[in-house]
Structure 1
Amino acid sequence: DRFHIIKNFNDKVVSEIRKDEQRRLAEEGSPEAAKLLKNSRYILMSKRSTLVQKDEDARKDKLVSTAGEIFNTPEIKAHGGNEVWYDELLEENKLFFTIDLVKDLLDQAYNSHDEVEMCVRLEEIIDICKATKNSHFIWFARLLYRHLRGIYTFAKYGISTGKLEGINNKIKTERRKGYEYPDDECFSLRLMELSQKAS
């Protein structure tokens, strides 16, 4: 499923490479460069269109979070410079540039409605990942190769487990909130009520 492929790429490739590069820079005596990478996780994971939107929100002084009186939290406005920062990261590091390339190819693959085209895109990603000689990219290449047939059939059927994942998260959240429910029947009724609100 697309959700799990992207999640695996973000968690096992993007995050791990960022940590490795941060350690390398610190060991090479570049603490400032290492510090710059510390808060770059979500920048590296985001699509360029998302970063452009965040910069646009910053120009409009859009609120991200309102001030809270109970916990005395200040209001937070969207901050800009995301796309510029992203471009700087890509220019400075070949692995980050490869991350951007793979993200773009994954997006193209999942937007394809032809199995052959999607398969070609996925095989291209596998070749790029292997060519990096990086252990995290190689792990991702093996993951794609093992599940290749199941992944490219998405182009034909377009079936996703996105709604199922959303329902599962709703159930988990409600279970955490619902310690006061007297029995399973009451919990089930609450879940049915939630599902009707969602639809």
Structure 2
Amino acid sequence: METIAEVDTLVTPDKIHLMIILNEEDNRNRKSTEELEASMFRVLKSLSIDLKKSLSVIDYSSEFKKYFLAGQKVLKTKMYSLILKDAQTVGKVMAGLEREEISNVSISKTEYSKSEQLLLELRAKAIMKAKRNAENMVAPLNQKVGKAIYISDLETASITSQLQGKVAGVQIRGASSIYGSRASENIMIDFEKMEFSSKVNVKFIIE
């Protein structure tokens, strides 16, 4: 007896990567990159975010990059990666940074931290579903399903590669900065749930 079974589930991302770019030319009051950096630290600390665990420099040199423009003018830019756990905190961070004239903030990637364990659980459920399917098929024949002699994982592994590095759909509400004013309230963000699935092919002995 050969049967194919598939199970799936939806989960909310719990590892959200933000890219923060600090540039002295990106704010109306021409604050220096150092001033913007200090403001960013202040905002994140006020939200009880662990900077050592969640914040890192993503600039390839880990130092200020210098862009030489016309004449002797120099632009200093620094890029950070910030990892947060939920949409509510993401909204608070984006609104807080916006109020400090740090608006070059983007969501670069979303992940589910327990994806490997979830895929293992889904694979097990798919195998059990395959067994139930087989039992239902042989029941009218007054026969039973015996041991499984072949199991093939058809698609579980491909789900990880499909999700890796991609950003789930994002819906932003209350971002007054989009219309040219400073964000007076926290930005409300909703993330589309991520889909995980497992599909197996199982062959059983019929008794």
Q: State TM-score, norm by structure 1.
A: 0.20
Task: Name the larger-Rg structure.
Answer: 2
Q: Which has the higher contact order (CA 8 A, sep 6+)?
A: 2
Q: State TM-score, norm by structure 2.
A: 0.19
More strand by share: 2
